[in-house]
Structures are given as C-alpha cells and as structure tokens.
Chains A and B, each alone.
Chain A
Amino acid sequence: MNADRHPLSMTVNGHRVDLIVESRRTLADVLREDLGLTGTHLACEHGVCGACTVAVDGEAARSCLMLALQADGSTVQTVESLCLEGGELGPLQQAFADSHSFQCAFCAPGFLMTAHCLLADGRPLTRAEIREELSGNLCRCTGYQSIVDGMDAAVAALAKEGPGA
C-alpha cells in the first residue's frame, strides 16, 4: 500500500527542517523518531497526561494530539531547547532541580515546556495559579508539591532577573 506522504517544513529549536512525512504520524513521533529529539516523552498518547507538551509558535501544545503536518510552517520548541550551550541546565531547569521537583522525571519534559510557555508571558503567578496552570500535566511520583515549589522558584527568579531567561 502506498503511504500518504506530504512535505513538512518547520523550525525546530532554531533549526529549519524539511521532511517528507506520512500523514498519520503525530508531531511527537516525528520529533522523536525522525529528528532524534527523544526529550519529548510519550505516555498516554491521547492527550490526557501532558508528558509530550511542546511549544508550537510559542504556545503549549500536546505533540501527541497534533498531526505532524499540522505543524507545517510553525516554530516548534522542545525540552532540548531549554538547556544552555554546552548542555548545562537552563534557569528554568535549574529552578526545578534546586527544588528537587522530579523523581523518575518521565513527566519532566511536559512540565518544563508547560512552565516555559507560561513564564514567557512574564506575568507573576500565585501558587493557586501555578497549580491551575500545571493541572494538565500528570506526575505519578511526587504528589506535585515539589513541582509547584520548582515553578514558584522559577517565577521568583524571573521576577528578579526580568523576562528572557
């Protein structure tokens, strides 16, 4: 059977990529399998757990709930974009690490990208707002307290240093 394939051009973590992809493949599949960006994790694969969250044109999106072809022409950021040159943790990752936010960390890429998109707004967030905003991401280890602490620390760091972190 001939697979239904179409061209796909997008910018991923600052690099332009041009691919031919089968229409039924998700953005998550293409990021992980074709581009080797396995930082984006897949768990439920039907939009419930949030582990596969990436930024599409600056907004949080579930990469398992998008056909790769829907991202044609878009700018996509994955968790790999959060670290500094040389692989050191970026400020957001450091805030979560300092708060011991994660245990097994399978959910971490989704939380980090949700947090990244949220902080891009640059507005201060209360703990209640943080809980609300992170409620779409599931963690089966921590009970969430440490993750909210990490986000709180990231918000505080951002307020001190200004946006752009």
Chain B
Amino acid sequence: MAEGAPPVKMPAFCYHRPTTVEEAVGLLGEYGGDAKVLAGGQSLVPLLALRLSHPEHLVDIGRVAGLDAVDDGPGGFTVGAGVRHAAVERSPLTGRAAPLVAAAMPHIGHRAIRNRGTVCGSLAHADPAAELPPVALALDAELLVRSRGGERTIPAADFFLGYLSSSLDETELLTAVRFPPWPPATGWSVQEVSRRHGDYALVGLAALVGVGDGGRVERAALSFFGAGSTPVRVPEAERVLLGERPDAAAFAEAADVVTKAIDPPGDNHATAAYRAHVAGVLTRRCLAEAAQRAGAGAGGAA
C-alpha cells in the first residue's frame, strides 16, 4: 500500500463538528443541499460506504450541546437529537411516558446499532421500513426543527413525504421529537414480521387502543411500517373500531379493512399480497395485545 494513501470507500467530504445549535444551523444554512447531518451515523454511514449518498459537507452534531435531553414534561415526552436509542431504551421514563416508544426499541436493529443510532436520526432518515416513524405517526408526535430563520414544529402527519424523504428543509436541523402526554386507559403494541430478528420488517405495526369508561374503543391508531413509501395509518380501519367493544370480532373486521385498504410494495422478500395478508394478521394480534394492556394498564399507565 502506498504510504499516505490508504484505500477508502466513502466519497470525500468536508467534515464539520459544530458545538452549538446556532453553529450547526449556520452551516446548514450556508451549504444547504450540499450538506448532510451526521448524528449516530447508523443510516448515513452505510449510504456513504455504498456511495449512494455523496454530500460535499458533513455536519456532525455529536458534540452539539443541549441535544441530549430525555424529558417528561407537561408538554409530553421529549427526546433530543443527540439521544441514542440505547439511552431511550434504558431510561425508566420511556416505559411510563411513552410505552409505545419503549415497545418499539427492542425491534430496532441490534444492540450495537442502538448504542450508536439516534431516535431523531431515525425519524429524519424517514425510512418507511423503520420502527420509529410509524410510532411517531401513531402518537401524533411533533418534530421540533431549527434553522437560521428560527424554529418551527412539524406534526408527524405532515413530516413523512416519501421514501427517505421528509418535509425537513435541507437548511433545517431536527433538534428534538416530542410525544404528547400518554392518554389514560390506552394500550399499545408493536409487532413485526421479519426474515430474521433485527432485520427490517417485511411488515410491522405500531398500534394504540384507548378504551373509555363504557368499555368501548374511544381511540385507535394503526400505523404500519414496510407497507408503502412512508409509514401509513389506515384511518378507515381505525374508524371501524371506534365505539365498538374491543373484542375479537371487531379486531377481525378491522383486519379485513386493513388487508383491503393498504397497498404495500412487492419485492424479492415478499409479494404485495403476502404483505397485505400479514398486515391483517398483525392488526388482529396487535389490537388484542393493546386492548388487554388498555384494560390492565388503567392503573399501570397512570
């Protein structure tokens, strides 16, 4: 090997390591579409290694102060852009303040990935097969965004636009995600079907069921991953559940609606028809688990 010229795989870029949010958004404002934000790197570095992404500038936010909070305040459960999956997984706050987020954690990659990857990085990457985007969508999370021009809040419903594409402008930095306060008597479930544990799911579901005083469903969210170019809610199936008793008959009806309504991709891992079938099966399984937790959790979640 020639001295001073070791082999490399990634395209060349200019590396920046800001220490404040102002400095970071200043760099993004200056370089815009030529820059990429590096947080944990567990999604971006493979894209660089495969040369699917070739930014001219890389803005490493790993040393930016003030992005490391995991907070449960009156506004909800907030996770800063520097917080790694493993920290959220370990925090005792997560299970109390956002049990759906806690339930998603073990499904994300493997431990070594969770030790480095960040919650906000996963959201900003907007991979429709990843677990956290549908969780954010199911919970009506808010994404807190900063740019040189100021701050704005993007509802999860407006955030995911397409495959690896979000409404985050190229000059903006996602600084935190806020999950609203957990509603009472609400159960949760995250389940997926994948070829191997830790692989991306063929199809997965993050589900919520809220049960009212009369024992009837007051709130339902069915948020799928691996089922389209974005995470997808199926509102027609959610509506089927409202006002019903949370029982097997209602879940089967919702599952039926899901299978007919969603339009998942087919590829060499699974056909579209198989994915639609699995989505129905997951609907029944998740609703049963969530409904049970909604009943059992009346005291537990409070």
Q: Report whether A65 and B110 are in contact in the complex, using a CB–CB cutoff of 8 Å.
A: no
Closest CB of chain A to B1's CB: distance in Å? 8
| Chain A residue nearest to B52 in the complex (CB) | A46
Q: Report whether B116 and A24 are in contact in the complex, using a CB–CB cutoff of 8 Å.
A: no
How many residues of B are in contact with the other chain, CB < 8 A? 34
* Set A25, A45, A56, A133: member contacting B111, Cβ < 8 A: A133
Closest CB of chain B to A95's CB: distance in Å? 20
Q: Write out the residue numbers on chain A whose beta carbons fall within 8 Å of the beta carbon of B15.
A: 4, 6, 23, 67, 69
Interface of B is mostly: loop
Interface of A is mostly: mixed
Q: Report whether B112 and A114 are in contact in the complex, using a CB–CB cutoff of 8 Å.
A: yes
Q: Write out the residue numbers on chain B whose beta carbons fall within 8 Å of the beta carbon of A70.
A: 38, 41, 60, 62
Q: Write out the residue numbers on chain B whose beta carbons fall within 8 Å of the beta carbon of A29.
A: 6-8
Q: Report whether B196 and A135 are in contact in the complex, using a CB–CB cutoff of 8 Å.
A: yes
Confirm or deny: B49 has a beta carbon within 8 angstroms of a beta carbon on chain A: yes
Q: Report whether B116 and A66 are in contact in the complex, using a CB–CB cutoff of 8 Å.
A: yes
Q: Write out the residue numbers on chain B whose beta carbons fall within 8 Å of the beta carbon of A50.
A: 110, 112
* Set B11, B41, B60: member contacting A24, Cβ < 8 A: B11
Q: Write out the residue numbers on chain A whose beta carbons fall within 8 Å of the beta carbon of B13.
A: 4, 23-24
Give 25 A-B contacts (CB < 8 Å), ordered by A residue.
Answer: A22-B12, A23-B13, A23-B14, A24-B12, A24-B13, A25-B6, A33-B1, A33-B6, A46-B50, A53-B112, A59-B86, A61-B115, A61-B116, A64-B45, A65-B41, A65-B113, A67-B45, A69-B15, A69-B60, A70-B38, A70-B62, A132-B197, A135-B110, A135-B196, A135-B198
